Amino acid sequence: MQDDADGAELRAGVQGDLQRLQRLGPDLRVLGGAVEQVHGVDDERLHDVGLLHRLVEGSDFLVGVDPRLPGPRGLVEDLDRPAAALFPSGHGVRRAARGGDVGADQHRMVIMRVRFPPSPTGALHIGNARTALYNWLLARGSGGQLVLRIEDTDRERSTPENVDLIFESLEWLGIDYDEGPIYQSQNAERHAGVVQQLLDEGKAYRTTAGPDVVKAYKEANDNRGFRGQEESEGAIRLRMPDEGVTVVNDIIRGETAFENVLLDDLVIARADGTPVYHLAVVVDDSDAQITHVVRGADHYSNTPKHLRIYDALGATPPTYAHLPLLHGTDGKKLSKRHGAASVSDLRNSGYLREAVVNYLALLGWGYDDKTEFFTVEELQRNFSLERVSKNPAVFDELKLRHMNGRYVRELSVEDLTARLEEFTGREGLKPAVEITQEKISTLAEFWPLAGSFYDGPSDDPKAREKFLEPPESRTALEQVRAALDGLPEPWSASSVEEALRVVPEALGMKPKAVYQPLRVTLTGTTVSPGIFDTVALLGREETLKRVGRSLEA
């Protein structure tokens, strides 16, 4: 049971949601009775109520709560089309009687079913990764389901290696799915059946008209959409209406009407009968009972076509949400030319999955005016399509790097060590991790800083020349050797510091004039962890050996 304060707050939240829903349109009706009954139910129930309301905001159907059923559930009341069609029978969703009947036995939960359909023509790009992430967050945040579908109909470019790469990237990101992977190529028969059906119904026809014919037609007809003549062979086109508009209702972008006259009769299958993408997505999404299609904005203009196909099929289309595209720093559409463009690249560059997920979530979505660090759980809880931005975003690796640094520093030494050992393929890294954690932003920055502990000093001629050649450097090193020689083991950063602190003073030199030569002697470079940490980690034997070697050179 919630305590009173929490309960009251939640009731207020639900009321607010309903009020907002009511403002969406005059046709909306709220199942008012259900709200009153929310009060007094258990924690889990209340939580689900919040999720359900979040789910429907911006959609064209309404969910209420029936407190009489156990577990999470919603009531569906249609607005301008039957709820039963919104959620095909397989979902078990039944239409609530108009007027807000909340009869217990006829209502079941609304489940948000989303999908991620990558085409395995390459590694998982960050744009697609973000799309996958958003869909996943939506599913996980609403108690819904995510379907993974591999769109491998492009036999030329699709490879098993790429499929594996995609699985690997999704797994690395922590994105799991509830159904699939479904391979689109395996639905070929179904697609062919649908095409044949449309042909039989006269909704589609064959024509040999190609791009040139279409272009000529449009030029001759004031840019009206191409309408062909039926032939006995050729590609199969779906007839488009000559009047009216096809309205795309997008959660992120609102409503847009496309004039049907301007739509070309759409090619749904090639001359050899194989379906094209537009036909395949619609059939597959429809068959999978997808309720929300959340995809890149590059598909926005394709949506009216998809809607026409749904119409021809007599199927109810899903709710759409088109995400802003991702651009490179040059303002152009993101591609391989923009450096680390795939998830694999980011991983190999030493970024942590947490940082990548967090950063990706922020590319096109913002929570408020100051919060930008989110755990996965927080993202699931707070992410919503209503707050997704409309404008394209530019992937900024510097910001990712910054975030990654913050995540690196928040990791426990053990955790970071494990990740670094996996990343570098080396073992026994913990001591070095302890003294480098605060200095690195990515896993890749570790080895340049710590490699000399394991593989000996690196070779940097410039550093050598600058800090080891001068006579006073030798003097300093000799003093250092003397000071360290008498230091009893075991060495610690503090005991080393105590022993070394006096050296600059004794020689009347600046600390830097003493420590830099020592640093270069021990590590080979001018950049390393703290000098006392470095000496302590190396230990007496190795330190004196390296100093001795340097002095004898």
Partner RNA sequence: GCCCCCAUGGUGUAGCGGUUAGCACGCAGGCCUUUCACGCCUGUAGCACGGGUUCGAUUCCCGUUGGGGGUACCA
Q: Could you list the active site residues?
A: 336
82 binds RNA (CB under 7 A): no
- In three state form, how does the secondary structure of 38-85 look? CCCCCHHHHHHHHHHHHHHCCCCCEEECCCCCCCCCCEEECCCCCHHH
Decide whether 11 or 237 has the Cβ nearer to RNA: 237
Piece in contact with RNA (CB under 7 A), picked from 93-101, 272-280, 284-292, 347-355: 272-280
Q: Under a CB-based contact definition with an 8 Å cutoff, are residues 104 and 67 in contact?
A: no
Residue 145 Cβ, how far from RNA at the closest point, in Å? 22
394 binds RNA (CB under 7 A): yes
> What separation in angstroms does the CA of 374 have from each of 172, 209, 347, 354?
18, 53, 19, 9
Which residues inside 158-187 make contact with RNA, applying CB under 7 A?
Answer: 184
Q: Under a CB-based contact definition with an 8 Å cutoff, are residues 226 and 217 in contact?
A: yes
Find how far residue 252's CA is from the centre of its chain: 17
- How many angstroms separate the CA atoms of 351 and 407, rounded? 10
Q: Under a CB-based contact definition with an 8 Å cutoff, are residues 305 and 162 in contact?
A: no
- How many angstroms separate the CA atoms of 453 and 414, rounded? 19
The binder of RNA chosen from 15, 196, 249, 256 (CB under 7 A): 256
Decide whether 97 or 247 has the Cβ nearer to RNA: 247
Position 41, amino acid:
V
336 binds RNA (CB under 7 A): no
- The side-by-side arrangement of strands in the sheet containing 204-207 is 204-207, 235-238, 266-269
Residue 30 Cβ, how far from RNA at the closest point, in Å? 18
Piece in contact with RNA (CB under 7 A), picked from 77-85, 326-334, 426-434, 540-548: 326-334
The binder of RNA chosen from 312, 362, 420, 503 (CB under 7 A): 362
Which residue carries 């009775």 as its tokens?
33
Q: Under a CB-based contact definition with an 8 Å cutoff, are residues 404 and 351 in contact?
A: yes
253 binds RNA (CB under 7 A): yes
- In three state form, how does the secondary structure of 316-379 look? CCCEEEEECCEECCCCCECCHHHCCCEHHHHHHCCCCHHHHHHHHHHCCECCCCCCCCCCHHHH
387 binds RNA (CB under 7 A): yes
9 binds RNA (CB under 7 A): no
208 binds RNA (CB under 7 A): yes
Which residues inside 401-430 make contact with RNA, applying CB under 7 A?
Answer: 401-402, 405-406, 409
Site map 83..122 versus RNA, x via CB under 7 A:
------------------------------------x-x-
The binder of RNA chosen from 137, 267, 312, 537 (CB under 7 A): 267
Residue 222 Cβ, how far from RNA at the closest point, in Å? 9
- How many angstroms separate the CA atoms of 41 and 7, rounded? 9
Site map 475..494 versus RNA, x via CB under 7 A:
--------------------
Residue 252 Cβ, how far from RNA at the closest point, in Å? 8
Decide whether 43 or 396 has the Cβ nearer to RNA: 396
Residue 364 Cβ, how far from RNA at the closest point, in Å? 4
Which residues inside 364-383 make contact with RNA, applying CB under 7 A?
Answer: 364-366, 368-370, 372
Single out the residue of 284, 292, 399, 289 nearest to residue 340, CA to CA.
Answer: 399
Q: Under a CB-based contact definition with an 8 Å cutoff, are residues 290 and 146 in contact?
A: no
Task: Name the burial class of residue 509, with classes exposed (0-12), middle (13-18) and buried (19+) by CB atoms within 10 angstroms of its CB.
Answer: middle
The binder of RNA chosen from 59, 142, 417, 441 (CB under 7 A): 441
Single out the residue of 484, 467, 473 nearest to residue 526, CA to CA.
Answer: 467
Judged by CB under 7 A, the number of residues near RNA is 84
317 binds RNA (CB under 7 A): no
The binder of RNA chosen from 262, 482, 502, 506 (CB under 7 A): 262
Decide whether 256 or 289 has the Cβ nearer to RNA: 256
528 binds RNA (CB under 7 A): yes
Piece in contact with RNA (CB under 7 A), picked from 27-35, 48-56, 424-432, 434-442: 434-442
Decide whether 89 or 301 has the Cβ nearer to RNA: 301
128 binds RNA (CB under 7 A): no
Which residue carries 């009731």 as its tokens?
11
Q: Under a CB-based contact definition with an 8 Å cutoff, are residues 523 and 457 in contact?
A: yes
Residue 521 Cβ, how far from RNA at the closest point, in Å? 13
